[in-house]
Amino acid sequence: MPKVKGKKRPRQQLQEGRANGILFNTGAGQHILKNPLVVNSIIEKAALRRTDVVLEVGPGTGNLTVKMLEKVKKVIACEIDPRLVGELQKRVQGTCLANKLEIKVGDVLKTDLPFFDACVANLPYQISSPFVFKLLLHRPFFRCAILMFQREFALRLVAKPGSKLYCRLSINTQLLARVDHLMKVGKNNFKPPPKVESSVVRIEPKNPPPPINFQEWDGLVRIAFVRKNKTLSAAFK
């Protein structure tokens, strides 16, 4: 196996999925969406406008990015891996799309989000939960987010009371947004394929938001769900 420059990564986290010689770090959620039909379907469901500024997290080699650049005013792509930043820059270099692309290098969870109208992303799955709530607490409000998640996480987002999947994530997300499961995406649509199935979800923030202190509310819900088999009175005692 060739050496990867920069920070050392556990051998088991690297898989033989390559694009232009890049060895993807699956431990960091690098699974590139390769099926153009799925890419086009995601963009169609986002209903993007010519005047939109779109936030993308984890653009990878740019399969989704390039298609969006053809339809919108600007794409702000957040990428933590400098190798993939280079690939994305090379892909648009010398084209009319280059001036419409802004790349932010770094950890999206540790940086302030810019202004954007819509968020469209094939997210690294390990940041799914913190990114969803960073997104929903972002101001000013955005119109919608079309996001790829691990299937089980997506089903928890849309779970209803009484379902075995209904949890703190379901309550908090649905408190702040309207959430819809749009489509299933099989593992073979990615390179390298992940070990899990995926789903695309639409999230539309509620504007105005509910008049509550979210941190206090989340603390209450956390206590209620810490042991799901307990009664609420027992949990609070």
Cα separation, 66 vs 213, in Å, equals: 39
- Binding-site positions for S-adenosyl-L-methionine read 31, 33, 58, 79, 107, 122
17 lies in a domain? no
Boundaries of domain holding 61: 29-211
Residue 23, domain member (yes or no): no
**Res. 224 pLDDT band, cuts 50 70 90:** confident
Is 24 in contact with 30 (CB distance < 8 Å)?
Answer: yes
Q: Do residues 64 and 42 make contact, with C-beta atoms less than 8 angstroms apart?
A: yes
Number of structural domains (the chain) is 1
Residue 153 lies in a domain: yes
**pLDDT tens-digit profile of 120-163?**
999 999 999 999 999 999 999 999 999 999 999 999 999 999 99
Which residue numbers belong to the known binding site? 31, 33, 58, 79, 107, 122
Whole-prediction pTM value? 0.87
pLDDT at 181 over 80: yes
Structure tokens at 139: 């101001």
Q: Say if CB 142 and CB 116 are below 8 A apart.
A: yes
In this structure, is residue 75 part of a structural domain?
A: yes
Residue 6 lies in a domain: no
What CATH number corresponds to the domain at position 183? 3.40.50.150
